[in-house]
Amino acid sequence: MSGGKRRDGGRRESPGAGNRDSLAGGRKRQGGRAVNGQANNRGRQDRFASGREGRSGGAPSSLAGVPVAVGQSVACDIIGLTHDGEGVGRVEGYTLFVRGALPGERVRAEVGSIGKSFGRAWMTELLEVGESENKGEGEKIRVTPPCPIYEDCGGCQLQHLAYAEQLKWKREHVVNNLRRIGKVAVAGAEGAVAAGDGTLDGRPEAVVHPTIGMSEPWRYRNKAQVPIGSAGGNLVGGFYEKGSHEIVEMGACLIQVEENEKTVRIVKEAARLLDIPPYSRESGRGLLRHVVVRHARTTGQRMVVLVTNGRDIPRGEELVALLRESVPGIASICQNIQTAETSVVFGDETRTLWGEDVIYDEIGGIQFAISPRSFFQVNPEQTVQLYRKAVEYAGLTGEETVIDAYCGIGTISLFLARHAKRVYGVEIIPEAIEDARRNAALNDIRNAEFAVGPAEVVMPRWQAEGIAPDVIVVDPPRKGCDPALISTMLELRPARIVYVSCDPATLARDLKLLEDGGYRTVEVQPVDMFPHTGHVECCVLLVRK
Ligand SMILES: C[S@@+](CC[C@H](N)C(=O)[O-])C[C@H]1O[C@@H](n2cnc3c(N)ncnc32)[C@H](O)[C@@H]1O
């Protein structure tokens, strides 16, 4: 498989890489090395033009009171990093988000767009390298991204940041959100008064532990969701270019398990061979929209889901036969029908074209059946760490009643059930609850029961039925918990709440509500479920005051 297309005709230098002395000894001159080719800059400028804040084409290139203009080359100090991996720069007090720059560096950047409160730019030269607090031999902040398509692909944001620094940054990102949005008293937080007795500004401190990372942070994803389109009349499938909906052909993805890479390649080749028309976002025509593949690490089973813009697949039987013949370990071939003009991947209807309607995997000694649309954590190695932490924070003795809200296919519920008297799981996707029930039976777990529906509706019903949980576990999607659910949790008054979150900002917002409602944040464990991306997962323990 070929690598993705490059705009700059080759791998861009990763400035600072290899300059060990300078990292240990603070800032050093780099001699103004150029890092971006002109062609690439133009591509970036196009993308900036579509940004919300400011314009690079058509609109004014300067604004009253803004110290930089579009197209201007400026030197700036980088003082932070956004979760999109952009360096936060300052020019005369004005904020510039600088793509490619890292905290502690001084860079030259070309301004792509400006607005009243901030602008966007891309780094053209590294002027001074940053300083690492990890001063071990050979440790660097900036490293050369190993992925050949990193600069163009929107999937990873932090490959140019050394892995140890990523873990450190993720913890800081969590701390900052808890402090700024959640007003949580975090041990070691700036601006608060630590009394040295475990209190901060008179409040007990929450401890945010170092991020649990991976020893080998590559090839971890067990699920690939690949958009399909066409380029030059050919079917392509790969990734959305950074900041756009243009689909670029991709051969390799270094955070995917190789099995998924191979499965996707076979599906694309088969679709080309059989002339299955790719979907076009612009016209709304064509058939194949997405190829979703999963690989179960412990059983080796593979699943293919063809997301199509309609029910009929021309030469569908031949396609299934080709996949059965060519994909090792294939256990399930499904079709999901999505005809809406939307960026939502799955439609409501899924049917099995061949094999089982699920594949099976195992985490921490528990078996799980996984359906095409069910949520299943994508990094199995780190999932064990996360779930063990959730069980530890739940502090179970075997006598407790536990509610697991947003339970998916019952993963956390079944981990908890081994240590609790009774577990109630609730989840909005019916197939996921079917899986959860099947999974409980598969593992002979009889003290867990599951309900379908919005957690914010089902929990008050349980409350009315007299279910009184000792512990509530929540693991909501990125938008966090529904306010009605938080209110019910506060009324139910469990001794402990364990909050598993994939978004530190919404987590912090919800912790504030829970703290205001009588709970105290005790411990926060960040877990790196998604190395090289800006995402971080957290497991949080709250206790009733
Ligand atoms: C981050 S996943 C967690 C799943 C599960 N705890 C796990 O670890 O596999 C969030 C889950 O919440 C479900 N969900 C989203 N909104 C919901 C709601 N209002 N009520 C119940 N479940 C919801 C999603 O379908 C998804 O399965």
- Which domain range does residue 505 map to? 379-544
Per mean pLDDT, which range of 42-46, 114-118, 258-262, 276-280 is the poorest? 42-46
% pLDDT > 70, the chain: 85
391 and 515 together in one domain? yes
Tokens standing for 405?
């809200």
To test the ligand 1 pocket, which listed residue (382, 391, 427) has its Cβ within 8 A of the most ligand atoms? 427
pLDDT higher than 80, residue 137: no
List the CATH number of the domain containing 52.
2.40.50.140
How does the average pLDDT of the chain come out, rounded? Answer: 87
CA distance 257 to 277: 27
Residues 401, 329 share a domain: no
Q: Is the pLDDT of residue 411 over 80?
A: yes
**Structurally, how many domains does the chain consist of?**
3
Report how far ligand 1's centroid is from the alpha carbon of 294 (Å): 19
Considering only CA atoms, which of 176, 192, 219 is closest in space to residue 379? 219
Query: Stretch 403-429: mean pLDDT, rounded?
Result: 97
CA distance 339 to 85: 34
Of 134-143, 307-316, 334-343, least confident by mean pLDDT is 134-143
Q: What is the pLDDT of residue 12?
A: 29
> Do 239 and 334 share a structural domain?
yes
pLDDT of residue 95: 96
Predicted pLDDT of residue 114? 95
Cα distances (Å, whole numbers) of residue 317 to 354, 439, 474 = 10, 31, 42
Supply the ipTM of this predicted assembly.
0.99
| H/E segment holding residue 363 | strand 359-363
Q: Per-residue pLDDT for 233 more than 90?
A: no
Does the structure show a pLDDT above 70 at 26?
no
Find the residues whose C-beta lies inside 6 A of ligand 1.
Answer: 375-377, 406-408, 411-412, 426-429, 432, 454-456, 475-477, 482, 502
Secondary structure in 3-state letters for 323-362: HHHHCCCEEEEEEEECCCCCCCCCCCEEEEEEECCCEEEE
Asked if 415 and 445 touch (Cβ cutoff 8 Å), the reply is no
Lowest mean pLDDT among 149-158, 162-171, 220-229, 266-275: 149-158
**Same domain as 402, residue 306:** no
Digit-coded pLDDT (tens) for 236-257: 999 887 777 889 898 899 999 9
Task: Quote the pLDDT of residue 35.
Answer: 40
SS3 78: strand
Which residues are CB-neighbours of 278 under 8 A, at least 6 positions away?
228, 229, 230, 235, 236, 237, 271, 286, 287, 288
For residues 340 and 401, state if they share a domain.
no
Shared domain for 396 and 481, answered yes or no, is yes
366-409 pLDDT tens trace: 999 999 999 999 999 999 999 999 999 999 999 999 999 999 99
301: which 2 tokens?
């089973």
d(CA 311, CA 286): 12
pLDDT given at position 55: 43
pLDDT band at 83 (very low <50, low <70, confident <90, very high): confident
Single residue among 103, 123, 144 that ends a domain in this structure: 144
92 has binding-site annotation? no
- Looking at residue 239, its pLDDT comes to 87
Asked if residue 385 and residue 256 are part of one domain, the reply reads no
* pLDDT the model gives residue 240: 84
What is the position in ligand 1's atom list of the atom closest to the CA of 404?
Answer: 6
Is residue 359 located within the same domain as residue 392?
no
Do residues 405 and 459 share a domain?
yes
* pLDDT over 80 at 259, yes or no: yes
Question: Domain check: are 233 and 349 in the same one?
Answer: yes
pLDDT digits (tens, 9 = 90+) for 455-464: 999 999 999 9
Over range 187-192, report the average pLDDT.
Answer: 62
400 and 519 co-located in one domain: yes
The pTM score is: 0.85
* Cα of 152 from ligand 1 centre, angstroms: 31
Q: Is 332 part of a structural domain of the chain?
A: yes
How many residues belong to the chain? 545
